[in-house]
Amino acid sequence: MASTQPTGVTPARSEETKNITQAFEGLGTDDKLALLYYIYEKMGDSITPAAPTAADAEISPQLLRDFYNLSDDQQLAAMREIVNREDTQVSRAYGALSENNQLLVWYAWAQGMGDTVVDMPLDYKAQSEVNSILSQIENLDFEGQISLLRQVAGDMGYSPVDPVPSQEETGKTPSL
């Protein structure tokens, strides 16, 4: 049976990034979307080189070209499907991407917000948890930020493929 749950934490991640990831997972759907937007707004200049240069912008036209032709309500619904790991066409397209390409999707959407991508609602008020998590992310070094964002982005979307358990989860080393 396919799993739609997060793939877990890798042993290479620090305790701090594990805690931030868990806090992110505890947020509601719209708060997760808002936090991603705030991350790219505040740290976009430092995140930008990490995602697009390591990603292929042509890999998912459904998410990077056709998405812009959807209505605001359809765009928001698609984002929510991805965050909620729903078994939908758009969430499967996202789930099939590499983590770098997933980061590219969020970067492109953040860059288009208010123009070609649905904007933040004017009446949205960030929960204190959103601001706290954003502050914690800002305090991470660059590698920690990218590692965290890759984990968060990689845990979204739907994939019918079960993730391979990590050494930390199984207690066994990989073998041939």
Q: Give the pLDDT of the chain (176 residues) as one tens digit per residue.
A: 343 434 443 434 688 899 999 999 999 999 999 999 888 887 766 655 455 555 666 677 788 889 999 999 999 999 999 999 999 999 999 999 988 888 888 888 988 898 999 998 888 888 899 999 999 998 988 888 888 988 999 999 999 876 666 666 677 776 65
DSSP 27: S
* CA proximity to 28, closest of 110, 148, 124: 124
Confidence at residue 76, expressed as pLDDT on a 0 to 100 scale: 95
CA torsion, ordered 147, 133, 24, 62, to nearest 10 deg: -70
**Could you tell me the two tokens for 25?**
């997972």
Q: What 8-state DSSP symbol labels residue 171?
A: S
Residue 27 backbone dihedrals phi, psi, to 5 degrees: -75, 160
Nearest alpha carbon to residue 62 among 37, 93, 83: 93
Residue 144 and residue 10 in contact, taking contact as beta carbons nearer than 8 Å: no
Rounded to two decimals, what is the model's pTM? 0.79
